[in-house]
Amino acid sequence: MWLYLVALVGLWTLLRLIRERKVMSHLQDKHVFITGCDSGFGNLLARQLDRRGMRVLAACLTEKGAEELRNKTSDRLETVILDVTKTESIVAATQWVKERVGNRGLWGLVNNAGISIPSGPNEWMNKEDFAKILDVNLLGVIEVTLSMLPLVRKARGRVVNVSSIMGRVSFSGGGYSISKYGVEAFSDSLRRELSYFGVKVAIVEPGFFRTGVSNSDRHLCSAKMLWDRASSEVKEIYGQKFLASYMTGLKSLDQKCKEDLSLVTDCMEHALTSRHPRTRYSAGWDAKLFFIPVSYLPTFLADAIFYRASLKPDKAL
């Protein structure tokens, strides 16, 4: 009995590997639009796809980031300045893309742009702190996608949305996890709707990687700003001991982050170039072996794991 089961699992795994290795043809004719290419995953993916011969349309927030990317890539790659929080910037970028893809349409849209600060305990924040992150990580993804969708549909192409393991398990305050949960929900509904038009939607869920989003110095500055702004009641409840421990934890963030960003960009590339892309990609062993399994645990068990590992306010029960 067990031998048949092992053989069945082995055969299924082999067939899946063979199926996933099938690559789309004429990749050199396909255009891919990527947001957030100044640094991190977007920057590396743009260079990676450019080396593969694809026609990369890279959106950067700053002219400096765009110039540095152009200096590292071929003449095929083109850049545009895009602020995903501004409708007029998205409209202009969409028109720019339309002029370049023509009747072929846009093969790939990669929603990669994102921020993670302000971050800290929820009680330290106000509505604007949450809105700042949601505006980029969720509403920006939605508006860019809706604007580019006619071009993607024309090519029967791909949409790749960058979420996070924190879109599965929320273990810190602020708008980041909220935004990533929203990306997961938007992607799921989009995938089902667009399947009728031959468009595939994939979600990439990275673990902890060393990028601008995870920069510990930025998180330290953000936490200090939130603490200084907090009310005297909040400061008394949480206490200086909690603050010191929290800041120490942020300083050690870099030690937990992996430097090999290609673990993530390889997932993105596969989603764009494979004939049979996955619905979800988890990148990093922390995502595969800890966070994803924890997300399937009963709530009380997941809560117990994070409760034991979390910091306690000075006046906690």
Residues marked active site are found at 176
What is the C-alpha separation between 70 and 151, in angstroms, rounded? 24
CA gap 147, 108 in Å, rounded: 13
Taking every pair of Cα atoms in the chain, the longest distance, rounded to a whole number of angstroms, is 66
Buried b vs exposed e over 65-101: b needs ≥16 C-beta within 10 Å? bbebbbeebeeebbbbebbbeeeebbeebbebbeeeb
SS (H, E, C) 259-293: CCCHHHHHHHHHHHHECCCCCEEEECHHHHHHHHH
Q: Which residues contact 4 (CB under 8 A, 6 or more apart)?
A: none
Which residues are within 8 A (CB) of 184 and not within 5 positions of it... i.e. 6 or more apart?
163, 167, 168, 203
The vertex-27 CA angle with 21 and 28, nearest 5°, equals 145
Instruction: Give the tokens for residue 243.
Output: 């603050």
Helix 40-51 / helix 262-273 crossing angle, nearest 10 deg? 50
Q: Cis omega (within 30 of 0) on the bond before 277? A: no
Comparing C-alpha atoms, which of 301, 197, 211, 303 is closest to residue 260?
A: 211
